[in-house]
Amino acid sequence: MQLSLVGINHRTAPVAIREKAAIRTGKLDDSLSRLGRYVDHGIILSTCNRTEVYTTDGDGRRNEEGSLDFLKTHLETSDTDLSQYTYILKDKEAVAHLFQTTCGLDSMIIGEYEVLGQVGQALESAERIKMTNLPLRQLFQGAIRTGRRVREETGISKNALSVSSVAVDMATRVVGDLAKCRMLVIGAGEAGRLVAKAAKDRGVASILIASRTQERAAMLTEALGGTPISLGNLAGEMHTCDIIVTCADAPHWIVSADHVAAAMKLRSGSPMVIIDIAVPRNVEPAVAEIDNVYLYNIDGLIQISDQNHQQREGEIEKAVEIIMNEIAEFNAWWQMLEVRPVVSALMKKAEEIRRAQLDKTLKKLGSLSEEDHKSLEAMTKSIVTKILREPVRYLKANGDSNGSAEMVRELFRLPGEKPK
């Protein structure tokens, strides 16, 4: 059995490509169902930094092609265009990548906590659509356990930055004192909550929170302060805001160039900072061409990301040690999973031969006491166990990395069972 990972992330593709690959939370189940047309078992991990497809099967090549075909259809692009941005990892490399990702080491903001929950949601969705199998379930559960350990046993996430808090810091660099600023947050989900909290902690004068559902915006403002508004009232409020941060889960632009141009006419030359941390993006790119408007998207956080990496260098080393130990445990389990059917089939065949030969011998020997029967039974079992002990031990220690399991299967003409 082989594990394959096909993905696109912030290191291989700009936000313009990642937003096309991104799968909104509400659409994940549908996407998993579509993935099922290409592969038997798979899990999709989609965040603002990445869209990755994890699959397992006896034919790794088939899974890679299936995952690529799924992404190609999802992106509505050609093989040539897709190959520029995708990466393919197999077996141990794929395991290491997922564990590092879940621990926040592959994120734009090192140590960010949100990805741990996103990995858990990816597993839950795949379980719901019945796209998981034992290896995938064990892989993701191991990654989640490791992510929790790293955050509990190291300081990687202590006072950790998030994309949301970095967005507020970036806005502060441009406008200066937040105490004189009015901020509009578009999106009342977890990212919106973190933006509003970071802005409040840094002393922003006032906050407006807009959401598709007025109830969610009202709940957030009740908890953190601020004023809820509807998305339909954006045009009427935008000109009053010095900073706009967008993080809504939407399939299209929420803030258009026309909206911003109209707002700027009412601002008497005062600048406006717009930070779009949503993937797909919420703000029309043409907004950047409007005078006195400073537009940033999630890829603009790279400089702060580099500083964050340097600050957490010592904690990264501690995290890597934990990750390596957990990976070693998973790989040992994986090896056992690979050879378990072979070991089971070998032991079963040996027992069938032992039983058949013993029965023949007992018929020839005629009448024997019950004690003699037990002695012959014990002796033949002991012979079989001792003959197979070293081969079985070798298989368990080495798995099928060198083809030994398959060789044993062929030598003893064992059935080709695979783990479910």
Per CATH, domain 2-159 is 3.40.605.10: no
On the question of pLDDT at 418 being above 60, the answer is no
Average pLDDT over residues 51-66: 85
Secondary element (H or E) of residue 52: strand 50-57
With a cut of 90, say whether residue 414 has pLDDT above it: no
Q: Helix 313-365 crosses helix 370-398 at what angle (to 10 degrees)? A: 150
Domain 163-305 grouped into CATH 2.40.420.20: no
Q: HEC states along 260-324?
A: HHHHHHCCCCCCEEEEECCCCCCECHHHHHCCCEEEEEHHHHHHHHHHHHHHCHHHHHHHHHHHH
The mean per-residue pLDDT over the stretch 107-134 comes to 91
Contacts of residue 157, defined as CB under 8 A and 6 or more positions apart, other chains included, come to: 104, 111, 112, 113, 150, 151
- Over residues 219-235, the pLDDT tens digits come to 888 888 889 998 888 88
Q: Which residue has better confidence, 342 or 21?
A: 21
* Cis peptide bond N-terminal to 228, omega within 30: no
Residue 47 near residue 98 (C-beta atoms within 8 A)? no
The residue to which tokens 């690959």 are assigned: 21
Residue 67 scores a pLDDT above 70: yes
Domain residue limits, the chain? 2-159, 163-305, 333-411
Rounded mean pLDDT, 62-73: 92
Q: What is the DSSP letter of 255?
A: B
Is 70 exceeded by the pLDDT of residue 306? no
Ranges 61-65, 126-130, 300-304: which has the least confidence: 300-304
What are 204's strand-pairing partners?
Answer: none
| Residue 245, pLDDT above cutoff 80 | yes
Q: C-alpha angle with apex 355: 353 to 358, nearest 5 degrees?
A: 105
Q: What is the dihedral of CA 22, 25, 29, 33, to 10 degrees?
A: 0
Between CA 297 and CA 238 the distance in angstroms is 18
Please give the structure tokens belonging to residue 126: 């795949």
Mean pLDDT across the chain: 87
Query: How far is residue 184 from each of residues 13, 198, 214, 300, 408, measured CA to CA in Å?
Result: 29, 13, 15, 19, 66
pLDDT tier at 215, thresholds 50, 70, 90: confident
> Range with the lowest mean pLDDT among 151-155, 170-174, 296-300, 338-342?
338-342
Measured CA to CA, the distance from residue 102 to residue 190 in angstroms comes to 18
Share of the chain above pLDDT 70, in %: 94
pLDDT confidence tier of residue 390, bands split at 50, 70 and 90 = confident
Residue 313 in this model has a pLDDT that exceeds 90: no
10 Å CB burial of residue 86 (0-12, 13-18, 19+) is buried
Cβ atoms of 243 and 273 within 8 Å: the answer is yes
**Residue that the structure tokens 């996407």 belong to:** 31
| 311, 313, 318, 320: CA torsion to nearest 10 | 130
Which helix (H) or strand (E) segment holds residue 7: the answer is strand 2-9
Range 131-136 average pLDDT? 94
Q: Give the Cβ contact number of residue 250 at 10 Å.
A: 17
Q: Tell me what percent of the residues of the chain surpass a pLDDT of 90.
A: 47
Distant-in-sequence, close-in-space partners of 402: CB < 8 Å, separation ≥ 6: none
pLDDT for residue 420 is more than 80: no
Q: pLDDT band at 309, cuts 50/70/90?
A: low
User: How far apart (Å, rounded) are the C-alpha atoms in residues 51 and 390?
Assistant: 44
Among 110, 198, 95, 92, which Cα is nearest to 154's? 110
Q: Which residue has the higher pLDDT, 232 or 23?
A: 23
Task: Give the contacts of 146 (CB within 8 A, at least 6 positions apart).
Answer: 99, 102, 103, 322, 323, 326, 327
pLDDT band at 419 (very low <50, low <70, confident <90, very high): very low
pLDDT above 70 (res 60): no
Residue 260 has pLDDT above 50, yes or no: yes
Report how far residue 163's alpha carbon sits from residue 208's, in angstroms, rounded to the nearest whole number.
19
Active-site residues: which are they? 48
Phi-psi region of 270 (alpha: psi -120 to 50; beta: other; left: phi over 0): beta
